[in-house]
A and B are shown apart, each in its own frame.
Chain A
Amino acid sequence: DAMVIQNPRYQVTQFGKPVTLSCSQTLNHNVMYWYQQKSSQAPKLLFHYYDKDFNNEADTPDNFQSRRPNTSFCFLDIRSPGLGDAAMYLCATSIGEETQYFGPGTRLLVL
């Protein structure tokens, strides 16, 4: 089945230790998004790629970076995780402006 896959599902890291979260998709969608969702809050868009074009949200901290080496894969890098970065990170994809489809998320814990 075509889908959005996120690995790992759970990630534990130490304060200040860089961490990378992975998203892959078999939908062949050209747009990929990264959201941060904290407990009982709405998902918050961090950035998205339209094809290879990177679009950063104005309030996304510099601590968060992203890479998209090809259509299928997109990575979220957190350079120096703080306790406040513990959250669910959601990847989504779409065809242009069409509806977004979400992956299962990666839950990040920062110790």
Chain B
Amino acid sequence: QKEVEQDPGPLSVPEGAIVSLNCTYSNSAFQYFMWYRQYSRKGPELLMYTYSSGNKEDGRFTAQVDKSSKYISLFIRDSQPSDSATYLCAMSERQGGSEKLVFGKGTKLTVNP
């Protein structure tokens, strides 16, 4: 079983739809959870960062962490064509003074006008 599982999609939705992206993980030592957005041929851009279980909201984006189920989600409300990108979940333990990120494979999202 891989440490982080993420459905690669692709996921295609109409503009204005609510998008739900999910990852599951097996390592209970993970403490920090992140969502990165990666446009084609660009580097990952940090979208959301959470530490504890629960919800964190930033504009149209909500990150949700359920440590008991080892499950994290990213919700995008009122999706826009500019949200079309690959979304990578990432998590870490943060040992030894630096951070080793473990990524999911990414979900490719297309928002159609």
**Using a CB–CB distance below 8 Å, which chain A residues touch chain B?**
4, 6, 31, 40-43, 45, 48, 50, 55, 88, 90, 94, 96-105, 107
Contact = CB atoms under 8 A, between A and B. Distances in A.
B46 interface: yes
B101 interface: yes
A102 B45 contact: yes
A55 B98 contact: yes
20 contacts: A31-B99, A41-B105, A42-B104, A43-B44, A45-B100, A50-B98, A88-B41, A90-B43, A94-B98, A94-B99, A96-B97, A96-B98, A97-B94, A97-B97, A97-B99, A99-B46, A104-B42, A104-B43, A105-B41, A107-B41
A66 B69 CA distance: 39
Interface centre among B8, B34, B88, B100 (most CB of A within 10 A): B100
A103 B34 CA distance: 17
A97 B93 CA distance: 9
B49 interface: yes
Interface of B: 4, 8, 32, 34, 36, 41-46, 49, 88, 94, 96-101, 103-106
A74 to B, nearest CB: 13
Contact of A103 (B32, B43, B97, B99): B43
Contact of A97 (B42, B98, B103): B98
Contacts, number: 59
Given A31-B97, A42-B88, A43-B101, 11 more contacts: A4-B43, A40-B8, A40-B106, A42-B4, A43-B44, A50-B97, A88-B41, A98-B99, A99-B34, A99-B99, A102-B45
A102 B90 CA distance: 13
A104 B106 CA distance: 17
A99 B106 contact: no
A65 B63 CA distance: 36
A4 B43 CA distance: 10
A22 B96 CA distance: 26
